[in-house]
């Protein structure tokens, strides 16, 4: 038995709860971007106090996705769908807004867009974890999968 076996077992036991914490923090950060852009919270757009004008493409639509998608991911409601749409919007933001300026995210200011894109894509595949409203409102199948519980099937 490896000296790290006990540590590995403990870390494996906490994995689902750390996944839930990860999802909550990522959702909150994304929600804050949308709240700043749409509502002027947290100093508004880039600390200017301004907001995105309603209906402008693509900024206003991106902010709506950030606000709603971030909120849904944060509370764990419709997590996979919200994460999929949020990931796509960040891919669009990166390739449309940032990549045309320079190839690398560090050079074109697209680090946040690239990171959010991949983080949300990860959540599409991992699900919400056990601490999610999906578990209460009918998404328990996804929550059970992330905790390692076997999926129950019923025959008709």
In-domain check, residue 60: yes
Distance in angstroms (rounded) separating the CA atoms of residues 56 and 63 = 10
In-domain check, residue 141: yes
144: pLDDT strictly greater than 70: no
Q: Side-chain half-sphere of 84: how many Cα atoms within 13 Å?
A: 9
Tell me the whole-structure pTM to 2 decimals. 0.82
- Tell me: the pLDDT tens digits for 46-58? 767 788 888 889 9
Q: Which of the pair, 96 or 153, is modelled with greater confidence?
A: 96
What total number of domains does the chain contain?
1
Q: Are 79 and 143 in contact (CB under 8 A)?
A: no
93: pLDDT strictly greater than 50: yes
In-domain check, residue 153: no
Distance in angstroms (rounded) separating the CA atoms of residues 129 and 146 = 5
In-domain check, residue 155: no
In the block, tokens 């409203």 appear at 133
In the block, tokens 């320079």 appear at 102
Over residues 76-91, mean pLDDT: 97
Q: Could you tell me what percent of the chain has a pLDDT over 90?
A: 61
pLDDT value, residue 71:
98
Question: Domain range spanning residue 100?
Answer: 15-147
pLDDT value, residue 27:
98
In-domain check, residue 63: yes
How high is the mean pLDDT of the chain?
Answer: 87
In-domain check, residue 125: yes
In-domain check, residue 154: no
Q: Side-chain half-sphere of 125: how many Cα atoms within 13 Å?
A: 4
CA-atom Rg of the chain in angstroms: 18
62: pLDDT strictly greater than 90: yes
Over residues 41-49, mean pLDDT: 76
Q: Residue 86's closest CA among 126, 129, 34, 51?
A: 34
In-domain check, residue 7: no
């Amino acid at each position: 038995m490896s000296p790290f076996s006990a540590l590995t077992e403990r870390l494996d036991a906490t994995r689902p709860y750390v996944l839930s914490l990860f999802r909550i923090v990522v959702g909150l950060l994304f929600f804050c971007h949308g709240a700043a852009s749409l509502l002027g919270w947290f100093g508004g757009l880039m600390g200017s106090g301004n907001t995105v004008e309603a209906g402008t493409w693509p900024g206003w639509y991106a902010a709506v996705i950030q606000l709603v998608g971030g909120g849904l991911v944060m509370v764990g409601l419709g997590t996979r769908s919200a994460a999929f749409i949020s990931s796509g919007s960040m891919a669009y933001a990166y390739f449309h807004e940032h990549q045309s300026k320079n190839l690398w995210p560090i050079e074109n200011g697209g680090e946040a867009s690239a990171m959010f894109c991949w983080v949300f894509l990860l959540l599409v595949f991992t699900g919400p974890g056990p601490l999610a409203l999906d578990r209460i409102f009918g998404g328990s199948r996804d929550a059970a999968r992330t905790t390692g519980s076997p999926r129950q099937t019923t025959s008709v």
